């Protein structure tokens, strides 16, 4: 007998699904999330575990397209809403939910899956690897001058929401198509990303759009300002909600604009790329506070299709012996042959060059990590001479992967 049956939900069960999620995360604000999930939820991809008919665990996947090295776009489920009630933890419920999502991805021909981890210790055992890093930074506006040679071109316009939104979506689409780790968006997702929030009433969101010298929008930033006036002196804090740019010039101009806003003492941002340009732009980088944590986690559900689907930075041949404890059928040896940047991957009986767990392939897939780095901590074994260097040459990519938001 199955103690905790797994099943997909119906559309009218979404509020009950959200209640479980809220209880599991000790969170309020269910109405805000419900509005979003009513737009993006796909009932046949959102699953629950039940105990005597009551929902006790949740997990969902959103059908998306993710930019991979090339840049190219592959269909991949974005895993979200993973939770188990406190009363039912440590019973294998999450393990079964994660397996269900991966099985469905394989059935649909989706070669990889990805997620943001609410708790980073959970997902490695399911074969996910840290594919990107995200940065949190704090920049004092005083003495934030840029290095010599940085030319600010075009113009930044402060706009209302209604003026900015029509300009922002094409910018996001251009940026997402060019950067690995970013997700393509459709009308549903754009509504989620752009709709007003309840907190906007007391904490308004401001909009800035950069236009290139020809007047074409190529970057935008949204931000909030926390007002602090100790002893009557403005010491306000500006929090960047998003900064998306389709060109380096737009990135530099938007950062300059944010740092030059009057009455602001500090600019803070979270979830920025690990190679955020502001570190190189400012003349005194040690004045910045810059911390890095895990960002996007990636899991390859079909190794041949995943590795064939990405472009490779250099030609070569590599045989990898892959271990997958969570889905043993994925374990095996795989040969990747790249010619002219185009790869072909298939199962093989050839002698391996490297041996690693499947999570390693997820970590290096977008170019955000390297085989050599993971070998230094015992996650990869080099079995033939120079295999690590060859593998890194084939999988390297610039710029570093970045997702851009959390869902």
Q: CA 160 → CA 77, 217, 255, distances in Å?
A: 34, 15, 19
- Residues 52-91 have pLDDT tens digits of 999 999 999 999 999 999 999 999 999 999 999 999 999 9
CA-to-CA distance for 59 and 112, rounded, in angstroms? 17
Smallest CA-to-CA distance from 294 within 81, 61, 118 is with 118
Give the number of other Cβ atoms within 10 Å of residue 360's Cβ: 23
Specify the CATH number for the domain of residue 68. 3.40.630.30
The verdict on 149 and 82 lying in the same domain is: no
Buried/exposed 67-93: b ≥16 CB within 10 Å, e otherwise: bbbbbebbbbbbbbbbbbbeebeebeb
The verdict on 289 and 147 lying in the same domain is: yes
- What is the phi/psi pair of residue 76, to 5°? -150, 135
- Residues 117-128 have pLDDT tens digits of 999 999 999 999
The verdict on 158 and 282 lying in the same domain is: yes
Domain count, the chain: 3
Q: How many percent of the chain have pLDDT more than 90?
A: 91
The verdict on 231 and 351 lying in the same domain is: no
Do 217 and 167 meet the contact criterion of CB atoms below 8 Å apart?
yes
The verdict on 44 and 178 lying in the same domain is: no
E strand or H helix that includes residue 133: strand 133-140
In this structure, of 68-82, 220-234, 290-304, 308-322, the range with the lowest mean pLDDT score is 220-234
- Residues 344-369 have pLDDT tens digits of 999 999 999 999 999 999 999 999 99
C-alpha torsion sign, points 293, 314, 72, 46? negative
The verdict on 142 and 254 lying in the same domain is: yes
- Residues 235-266 have pLDDT tens digits of 899 999 999 999 999 999 999 999 999 999 99
Domain span holding position 382? 302-395
Residue 128 belongs to a domain: no
CA-to-CA distance for 160 and 310, rounded, in angstroms? 39
- Residues 81-108 have pLDDT tens digits of 999 999 999 999 999 999 999 999 999 9
Residue 178 belongs to a domain: yes
The verdict on 147 and 275 lying in the same domain is: yes
Smallest CA-to-CA distance from 132 within 310, 370, 296 is with 296
Specify the CATH number for the domain of residue 341. 3.30.1050.10
- pLDDT of 1 reads 45
The verdict on 139 and 279 lying in the same domain is: yes
Q: CA 19 → CA 93, 237, 397, distances in Å?
A: 17, 34, 41
Residue 40 belongs to a domain: yes
Mean pLDDT across the chain? 95
The verdict on 256 and 322 lying in the same domain is: no
CA terminus-to-terminus distance, the chain: 35
CA-to-CA distance for 399 and 396, rounded, in angstroms? 10
- What is the phi/psi pair of residue 87, to 5°? -75, -10
Burial of 183 (0-12, 13-18, 19+ CB in 10 A): buried
Do 232 and 164 meet the contact criterion of CB atoms below 8 Å apart?
no
């Amino acid at each position: 007998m199955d103690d905790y049956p797994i099943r997909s939900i119906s559309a009218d069960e979404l509020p009950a699904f959200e209640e479980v999620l809220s209880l599991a995360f000790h969170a309020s604000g269910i109405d805000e999330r419900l509005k979003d999930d009513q737009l993006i939820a796909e009932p046949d991809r959102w699953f629950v575990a039940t105990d005597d008919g009551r929902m006790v665990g949740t997990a969902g996947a959103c059908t998306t397209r993710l930019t991979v090295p090339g840049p190219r776009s592959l269909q991949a489920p974005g895993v979200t809403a993973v939770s188990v009630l406190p009363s039912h933890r440590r019973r294998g419920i999450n393990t079964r939910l994660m397996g269900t999502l991966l099985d469905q991805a394989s059935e649909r021909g989706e070669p990889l899956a990805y997620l943001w981890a609410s708790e980073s210790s959970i997902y490695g055992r399911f074969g996910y690897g840290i594919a990107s890093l995200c940065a949190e930074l704090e920049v004092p506006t005083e003495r934030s001058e840029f290095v010599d040679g940085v030319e600010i071109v075009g113009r930044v316009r402060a706009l209302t929401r209604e003026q900015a939104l029509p300009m922002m979506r094409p910018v996001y689409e251009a940026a997402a198509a060019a950067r690995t780790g970013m997700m393509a968006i459709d009308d549903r997702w754009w509504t989620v990303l752009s709709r007003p929030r309840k907190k906007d009433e007391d904490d308004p969101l401001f909009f800035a759009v950069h236009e290139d010298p020809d007047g074409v929008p190529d970057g935008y930033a949204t931000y909030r300002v926390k007002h602090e006036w100790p002893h009557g002196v403005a010491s306000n804090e500006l929090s960047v909600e998003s900064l998306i740019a389709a060109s380096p010039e737009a990135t530099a101009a938007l950062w300059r604009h944010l740092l030059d806003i009057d009455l602001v003492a500090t600019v803070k941002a979270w979830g920025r790329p690990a190679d955020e340009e502001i570190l190189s732009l400012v003349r005194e980088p040690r004045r910045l506070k810059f911390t890095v944590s895990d960002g996007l986690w990636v899991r390859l559900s079909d190794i041949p299709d995943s590795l064939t689907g990405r472009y490779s930075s250099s030609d070569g041949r590599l045989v990898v012996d892959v271990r997958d404890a969570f889905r043993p059928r994925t374990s095996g040896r795989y040969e990747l042959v790249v010619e002219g940047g185009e790869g072909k991957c298939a199962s093989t009986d050839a002698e391996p060059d490297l041996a690693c767990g499947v999570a390693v392939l997820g970590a290096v897939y977008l170019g955000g990590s390297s085989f050599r780095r993971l070998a230094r901590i015992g996650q990869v074994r080099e079995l033939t001479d120079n295999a690590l260097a060859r593998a890194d040459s084939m999988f390297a990519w610039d710029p570093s992967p970045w997702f851009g938001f959390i869902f």
